[in-house]
Structure 1
Amino acid sequence: MRTDDCAEVAAIRIRGWQHAYKGLVPQPYLDGLDIAADADRQRARLLDGDRRVVNLVVDSGGGTLLGWAALGPYRDGETRTEDAELYALYLRPQHIGRGVGRALLSAAVRHCAAAGHQRMYLWVLKGNAPARRFYERAGFTADGAEEAFEVGGSVVPEVRYAKDLRG
């Protein structure tokens, strides 16, 4: 991902939230998401952020981005592990089910395995059945860990998934 991609990545992320989390996250929160503000945050993170965080994009071949993923070291409070985490994976909603997400996830898994990580984790909204099926088909399994986060005044539960990258 380059700084030139930040506006498109922000649009992908926000449209992805609005599509995937409808009915799971308060609608006023989803309606209030701001692409321009998110693009500014993406740009700042890219320019000033942790260089261990990798941002991958899928280009249509015609200069339009179809998807984005962010990955890096597993975040577990103050504890640092040798494991990796998929922080985000979003597609333009019209490209869901066309193999773009599988290709992007495969690239993320390959990157983490090549970097020597033993496991890869991700968090998914507990009620997001399509995303859970997507990750399960890719070999991730729910490992029993659950957390909740506050978004738009509501508490939303997440489930952690893991994949062994050693073989």
Structure 2
Amino acid sequence: MREMRLADCDRVSEIRVRGWQSAYQGLMPQSFLDALSVPKDAEWRRAHFSARAEQGVVNLVAEQGGEIVGWVAYGPYRDGEVRTEEAELYAIYVDPDRYGGGVGHALLRESLRRCAAAGHGSVLLWVLKGNARARRFYERAGFRADGMEEPFDVEGVAVPEVRYAKKLSH
């Protein structure tokens, strides 16, 4: 586990795009998932790398055998454009070929440890309501749906999100 570097953007984008295409199959229009582009994602990631760090966004990667196999991003909770005292888990993706191997749990544990060490009292995250696999993952880690829902629309298809929360102990 280590901090992400600018040179990691291509591999992180590959993991993110493949993760979306795997995790959201059947939840989002296939045409949208098929159109996702690793080069475009990596270009955006490189262009915003420094600015995101300045905004308090932390990106970590998990490596096995010298290869990046997972990525997590977290930082201040965003309530619209306002940052709050809570932390937010923005994204966590594992190479689909590595699902079930503990990489996601390791990334989540390290993120929660760092959030607690930084003094955050809780971590919030948004997950697609229909993503049962991800919801089970977060629930096993002690997150609970807190009743907040947010509409999300992809190519005219409703894919609502639910918010999960977890209190941290210091």
SS at match of 2:82: coil
Aligned equivalent of 2:157: 154
Normalized per residue, the structure richer in strand is 2
SS at match of 1:44: helix
CA RMSD of aligned residues (A): 1.1
Query: 2:158 & 2:164 partners in 1: Cα distance?
Result: 20
1:57 corresponds to which of 46, 61, 65? 61
Query: 1:17 & 1:94 partners in 2: Cα distance?
Result: 13
Query: 1:117 & 1:131 partners in 2: Cα distance?
Result: 23
**In the alignment, is residue 71 of structure 1 matched against residue 74 of structure 2?**
yes
Instruction: Give 1:48 shift.
Output: 2.8
Query: 1:78 & 1:40 partners in 2: Cα distance?
Result: 24
Q: Which amino acid aligns with 1:53?
A: V
Q: Flag as ranges the 4+ runs of structure 1 deviating above 4 A.
A: none
Query: 1:47 & 1:38 partners in 2: Cα distance?
Result: 15
Note the 1:38-117 alignment, pairs <5 A.
Answer: 38-51=41-54, 52-60=56-64, 62-117=65-120
What whole-Å deviation, never above 9, does each CA across 1:64-117 have from its counterpart, x for those lacking one?
110000000001114332100000000001111111100000011011111100
Instruction: Give 1:38 shift.
Output: 0.2
Query: 2:81 & 2:68 partners in 1: Cα distance?
Result: 34
Query: 1:48 & 1:112 partners in 2: Cα distance?
Result: 20
Aligned equivalent of 1:23: 26
Q: Which amino acid aligns with 2:70?
A: G
Instruction: Give 1:50 shift.
Output: 4.2
Quote the sequence identity (%). Answer: 60
In the alignment, structure 1 segments of 5+ residues that lack a partner are none
SS at match of 2:101: coil
- What TM-score comes out, normalization by structure 1 length? 0.96
Report which stretch shifted further, 133-142 or 50-59: 50-59
Query: 1:80 & 1:104 partners in 2: Cα distance?
Result: 23
SS at match of 1:25: coil
Query: 1:38 & 1:21 partners in 2: Cα distance?
Result: 17
- What TM-score comes out, normalization by structure 2 length? 0.94
